[in-house]
Structure 1
Amino acid sequence: MNTRAMSWRGRAGARRAANGSMAEGAARAGLTARGVIYLLVGVLALRIAFGDGRRQADRGGALAELADKPFGAVLLWALGLGLVGMALWRLSEALFGSAGQDGRSARKRLAAAARCAFYAFVAWSVLAFAVNRDNGSGSSDRQSRDLTARAMEVPAGQWLVGLAGIVIVGVGGWIGVRAVLRKYHDKLKLGELSPRTRRLVDVTGVGGGVARGLVFAAAGAFAVRAAVDYEPGKAKGLDDTLRSFAGTPLGPWLLVCVSAGLVLFGVFSFALARWRRV
């Protein structure tokens, strides 16, 4: 009897270990794929800042850039599958909880479910682009305008768009503040980092997080403006939002700083893929 119980517990432990290894692999593949996208978007935005605006600085532009490289089709499929891994990892967090003291809380699980839905959509768009490069990714600016226009057609749609914009502005501020406070330390295996590596990770985490938060906040502000003026065309996707930074009194240098920050966030995602606790 005891032997059977011990055997059952051993098999259960082995299954948990296997599931944990699969979740960790999916998480690290997904973080790496996210890093590639942010790195490419940041590089494309830098090109725009320096006068080369032939390609959009958004996910579609990043995928097109990747497709032009040697073994582009293989790279696209690898990127899409990595993002599938990210979605599955977030799904496991929504179902079973995540690492940390409050990882099983309803708030964390709902956030994980929302991230799962987002990365599932991104993975689908990347894989659709890999299958047929005329479809799947699309322009983020056109998608943003179309979605805003459809939302404004429903009852109280103008208020919903405005509220969504305010929420996005708040999310951007939250991302930036958490980066400055280095809240990501809670998720890192700090004991495995040398002092020099930790400083480098902090440079990418703080600089990248602030830039990412600023882009979110700016996109949300444009959505609020579209709602107030009742003009869906004033909503902006990632490409138009980034280009708008070049139209400030600081000229293209603000866009250069934000673009460099997105590159840093891509590198930070690679660091998370290596040292994040899953």
Structure 2
Amino acid sequence: MTAKDAARAIGRRAAGHPWFHGLSRAGLAARGVLYLLIGWLALLIATGHGGAEADRQGALRTVADRPGGWAVLCLLAAGFAGLALWQFAEALYGRPLPNGRRKRMRLPAAFRGLTYAVGCTGTVGFLFGQGHTSGDQQSRALSARAMAEPGGRWAVLAVGAGFVVWGVVTLVNAARRAFRDELDTDAMGTVAHWIVQPLGTIGNVARGLIGGAVGAFLAYAAISFAPDRAEGLDGVLREFAATPAGGWGLAVIALGLVIFGLYSFCEVRYRKVEAVEPRDDRPAGA
């Protein structure tokens, strides 16, 4: 056995350990807490009672301002680390889905792993007094820095297009209720089916709309060469309030984010978190 094979075997055993599965589910709970907080902050903005940004930074600041907030932030950081490790494991060893070892299934897991790793790093930085700027400011600063580099404008456009595609795919999967493939539906009773499926559909629709809107603003910023048009989550949510639907439109999206937070807690119980290597008829990675 080569060193590479030995390392892969060790990693595979670690990914299959019950403690690793528990860490993955803790990460889903952390994600649920974050979405509940962001949705709540957005609802406050929709009703004219919000001052904090409705994004990850605003949610972390809300937690930090409460008694025991530092401990909760530590738990959230650990949860996001668990999410990142879990998604990287799925990228390496396959997802617990049909044809889960193929690249088209594993590459999105790698992207999600990077996203959660960034979230974990940002939470740790917040714990140590760094990264307190809003998501909108960060988005504009990063876009401006990227566009100042050769080819950076196209990189920003590519990222924006990626978010748009992700948003559309999320919306389609929500309509098809494809998220059920990721759940252990055999363990769900009749009542659980009636609760989880509507939560997953509505929550993923809201998530897809937000992700697609973030991507559209990034793409527009790149096309118009205007980094100040790049919006983070808070800016995108406030744009919904600027539509003809007004605060009601933002309130609907905010409720959708709260519902996705609740769905995340359902996933803590029913999500398949085992990284597997399904036996396909086609070669691995095809």
- TM-score when normalising by structure 1: 0.89
The one-character-per-residue Cα deviations of 1:49-81 (angstroms, maximum 9, x if unpaired) are: 000231000000000111122211111101111
Cα distance in 2 for partners of 1:73, 1:40 equals 16
Q: What amino acid sits opposite 1:129 in the alignment?
A: F
After superposition, the CA RMSD in angstroms is 1.9
Partner of 1:264: 259
Q: What amino acid sits opposite 1:270 in the alignment?
A: F
Q: Which of 100-109 and 196-205 deviates more?
A: 100-109
**Share of identical aligned residues, percent?**
45
Does structure 2 conserve the Cα–Cα contact (< 8 Å) formed by 1:124 and 1:136? no
Tell me the secondary structure at the aligned position of residue 57 of structure 1: coil
Does structure 2 conserve the Cα–Cα contact (< 8 Å) formed by 1:59 and 1:137? no
Partner of 1:125: 122
The CA deviation at 1:108 is 2.3
Partner of 1:245: 240
The CA deviation at 1:211 is 0.5
Partner of 1:86: 83
Tell me the secondary structure at the aligned position of residue 203 of structure 2: helix
The one-character-per-residue Cα deviations of 1:206-261 (angstroms, maximum 9, x if unpaired) are: 11100010011111111122122211001100000000000001111110000000
Q: Which of 223-232 and 18-27 deviates more?
A: 18-27
Tell me the secondary structure at the aligned position of residue 164 of structure 1: helix
Partner of 1:6: none
Matched, 1:143 2:138: yes
Cα distance in 2 for partners of 1:78, 1:158 equals 37
Q: Indicate how the Cα distance of structure 1 residues 64 and 17 shifts in structure 2: closer, same or farther if over 3 A, else same.
A: closer
Does structure 1 conserve the Cα–Cα contact (< 8 Å) formed by 2:15 and 2:86? no
Over alpha carbons, which structure has the higher Rg?
1
The CA deviation at 1:155 is 2.2
- 5+ residue gaps, structure 2, are 1-8, 274-286
- TM-score when normalising by structure 2: 0.87
The CA deviation at 1:136 is 2.9
Q: Indicate how the Cα distance of structure 1 residues 96 and 272 shifts in structure 2: closer, same or farther if over 3 A, else same.
A: same
Cα distance in 1 for partners of 2:132, 2:30 equals 16
Cα distance in 2 for partners of 1:94, 1:45 equals 33
The CA deviation at 1:17 is 8.4
Does structure 2 conserve the Cα–Cα contact (< 8 Å) formed by 1:23 and 1:92? no
Cα distance in 1 for partners of 2:88, 2:22 equals 14
Partner of 1:39: 36
Structure ranking higher on relative contact order (CA contacts 8 Å, 6+ apart): 2
Does structure 1 conserve the Cα–Cα contact (< 8 Å) formed by 2:221 and 2:230? yes
- Judging by fraction of residues, say which structure has more helix: 1
